[in-house]
Amino acid sequence: MLGCMRLVLLFTLSAVPALAQEPLRQQIRVIAHDAHGKVSAACSLAGSAPNCDLNPNAQPPMQSVFKLPLALTVLHEIEQGTLSLDQPVRFLPQDRILPHVYSPLQDKYPNGGVDVPLRELLRLTVSLSDNVAADILLRLVNGPNAVNAYVGALGISGTSR
């Protein structure tokens, strides 16, 4: 709960004038230190430059955030008629990954070898952050390069995978 309160504090204080933001910068440094990892953060107020950043140009990996552009790519393919929400997608035995990876899909079908409706793979990926379902969707759209190409075609740049 404390982590959530800190994040709310981080975003609500982003409107504080630049001179008063040193305490916010210190708070970000404390959160980053407590995370025991590589942390990058940037705060901004609409119409102004970031003014409370910590390694803002570090380009950290997207981690589970990549599931949003993945879902957008899948939905685009559905709009184009290449894919259908109701089509079955094979959960292949080789789609299974490490045993300690979060995947309700893998938990339900530990051996794979079943057909799963595309809409269910999307739901699992976006709503539950299911890593195996996301990997299956990546396979379905021909990998991360296809996702990057679609996102780039939307005019979005500067993302890293």
**Per annotation, catalytic residue among 40, 44, 48, 64:** 64
Distance between CA 88 and CA 121 in Å, rounded?
A: 10
In the residue annotation, 64 being an active-site residue is answered as yes
* Nearest partner of 70 among 132, 123, 157, 144, judged by Cα: 144
Cα 39-43-45 angle, rounded to 5 deg: 170
Residue type, 89: V
Output the six-digit token pair for 104: 């309700």
For β-strands 114-117 and 88-91, DSSP reports them as: antiparallel
Distance between CA 47 and CA 22 in Å, rounded?
A: 20
Helix, strand, coil percentages (3-state) for the chain, rounded to 5, are: 55, 5, 40
Give the catalytic positions in this structure: 64
